[in-house]
Chain A
Amino acid sequence: MSTLRSRLFPFLMVGPYLVMFAIFLGYPIVRAVYISLFDWGIFGPNGFVGLGNYSDLFGDTRFWNSFFTTARFALIFVPMIMVVSVLLAVLLHRKLPGIAIFRTAFFFPLVVNVAVASIAFKWLFEPRAGTINQILRLLHLPDQAWLSEPGWALVAIALITLWINVGFMVIILLAGLENIPDDLYEAATLDGSSPAQSFFNITLPLLKPIMLIVMILSLIQAFQVFGEVLIMTQGGPFGSTEVMTMLLYEEGFRNFAIGKAAAIGVIITIIIAALSLVQFRVFRQR
């Protein structure tokens, strides 16, 4: 009797969670893949089309535009967040007067939701009254239309995504820096190595595995960027910020081409899964 009870015990503990998991996480994911195989409209399935939605997408210039926009976004965002987060982590790692305040400034955006952050940046980039153009005018530089200019809009979105996420990356990198023994730096200093030399000869090589993780995490973030785009530019101007998630939203929730939207979702997932696979391999190597 007691052995039966102790055998059942783990399942009683994990059961309620797994039921909720199956209904609200597992099932929706599997079903999204299923939907992507149908011509699925606002009233449900109109017929099985196999991989038809996918081949439609691969022949659709709007889809390719969104794919390359996302890739361009990643190419702007990932190097930017890598450089800034490594710089910040190295600067914040050691004690300095006022360091708690500095840390707070960079971690604070972690608690600001994407709607509020987008409003703050929309205000910052506002062409007439926004702070950035005001400062440019004070410096006698030409002001820009920012969010309504195809060349700048994606950069502006990368900046806000950087502002929101850099704290998370810094936390990860700081944990990595703590694992580098201090003796290494002391020995290097005794050998006459300058701080810059120590950075390039000790910090960077030893931080490389963590930096790789940060890079992959930020790539994943780049492919998932959505709220910022929806609130700041709605994909415009002229489709210059229409990332894949934005196209999915348009197709699924405005045009009710739900099968097609699901196919876009599956494609994004495959890209992210591939990137995450690389990440797991890196983790295992450590």
Chain B
Amino acid sequence: MQTNRTLRWIVLFVLAVLWVLPVASLVLFSFAPSSEILKDQLIPSNWTLDNYWKVLTDAGQGVSIPQAMLNSFVIMLAQVAGILLLDIPAAYAFGRLRWPGRDLVFFIVLITMMMPGILEVLSLYDLMANLGLVDTVTAVILPGLPRVVGIFILRQFFRELPREMEEAARMDGATEFQTFRTIMMPLAAPAITTVTVLTALYSWNNFLWPLIITNSPASMTVPVAVAYLSAADAGIINYTVILAAAFFTSLPMILLFLFGQRWIISGMRPTSGIK
């Protein structure tokens, strides 16, 4: 039994080292002068903060990382607020209220979850062009708002709340909205936190749609800006700055992970919903 545990530990350790390797190498060389790259070494022998200074001032290719961070923060706040505002009442209606057509409508909403994002972007681009919104932060925000995952998680949660609570409220003469607002919504706090964390994550990391709809540094999001830097790279000389940009722009999500890991995991468990 003891050897079994030791063996498990060793296998896990080796795999964990492999899993950390890509990020470790990225972080190490993001603190190295670019001349270190060609020295055939696993760990740089000289250290500098120059790459981070460049990330903040002039990352190259006309891309502004601080601007992209600002854009991504604005988009994240707008999408988290918008999604909670839309999803909480809608999920309550889907999970808790009776109305004609409910199950059919929910089925249609659910079906779009398995549509590949790349199918939608072609006509979304067209739609944004007609609205005159191409290359704006607004155009990045809007299509994220009807995202289905939050609806799914919250509906599941509302469905499982005990009946007695709302019946007691109704006996006290509360209107339906009061019941929802003062009794049911506070109970859903854990599910709401999960949706908030997952939305923040999605919003910051979403790549495809922002890539398609933005093309100027003024409206680019973080992953798009980082991808631009990387794509334009001619040789490996500028690599250290790209690595620094990649790490620096991931810091907010690393913080979110450190403090919200359990919400992320609970949101991805099959009982609460699928990614």
A104 at the interface (CB under 8 A from B): yes
Dominant secondary structure of chain B at its interface with chain A: helix
Dominant secondary structure of chain A at its interface with chain B: helix
A113 touching B205 in the complex, CB below 8 Å, given contacts A92-B12, A107-B264, A249-B118: yes
A106 touching B16 in the complex, CB below 8 Å, given contacts A35-B123, A129-B37, A276-B114: yes
Find the residue from B22, B40, B274 having the highest chain A CB count within 10 A: B22
- CB <8 Å contact, B118 and A29: no
- The A69-108 residues at the B interface (CB cut-off 8 A) are 84, 87-88, 91-92, 96-99, 101-102, 104-108
Query: Which among B51-59, B138-146, B160-168, B188-196 touches the partner chain?
Result: B138-146
Known: A32-B122, A111-B205, A115-B230. 11 other contacts (CB 8 A): A13-B92, A13-B180, A14-B94, A16-B89, A16-B90, A109-B19, A168-B268, A171-B265, A195-B4, A217-B274, A272-B115
- CB <8 Å contact, A226 and B118: yes
Cβ contacts under 8 Å, B183 to chain A: none
- CB <8 Å contact, B12 and A120: no
* 25 sampled A-B residue pairs with Cβ under 8 A: A13-B93, A14-B90, A16-B85, A20-B145, A25-B148, A28-B120, A28-B122, A31-B126, A35-B126, A87-B11, A91-B8, A92-B12, A102-B12, A108-B23, A108-B257, A110-B264, A110-B268, A115-B226, A115-B246, A119-B246, A122-B230, A172-B270, A217-B275, A220-B114, A253-B212
**Per-position binary interface string of chain A over residues 229-253, scored 1 when its CB falls under 8 Å from any chain B CB and 0 otherwise:** 0110000000000000100110011
Find the residue from A97, A119, A175, A265 having the highest chain B CB count within 10 A: A119
- CB <8 Å contact, A123 and B142: no
Complex alpha-carbon distance, A190 and B201, angstroms: 46
Query: Which residues of A pack against B, CB within 8 Å?
Result: 5-7, 9-14, 16-18, 20-21, 23-29, 31-32, 35, 84, 87-88, 91-92, 96-99, 101-102, 104-124, 126, 128-129, 131, 134-135, 137-138, 163, 168, 171-172, 175-176, 195, 210, 213, 217, 220, 223-224, 226-227, 230-231, 245, 248-249, 252-253, 258, 261-262, 265-266, 268-269, 272-273, 276
Complex alpha-carbon distance, A70 and B208, angstroms: 18
- CB <8 Å contact, B269 and A115: no
- The B195-249 residues at the A interface (CB cut-off 8 A) are 201, 204-208, 211-212, 222-224, 226-227, 230-231, 236, 239, 242-243, 246-247, 249
- CB <8 Å contact, B265 and A29: no
- CB <8 Å contact, A25 and B116: no
B104 at the interface (CB under 8 A from A): no
- CB <8 Å contact, B118 and A10: no
- CB <8 Å contact, B253 and A112: yes
- The B7-59 residues at the A interface (CB cut-off 8 A) are 8-9, 11-13, 15-16, 19-23, 25-26, 29, 37-38, 40-42
The minimal Cβ–Cβ distance linking A213 to chain B, given in whole angstroms, is 7
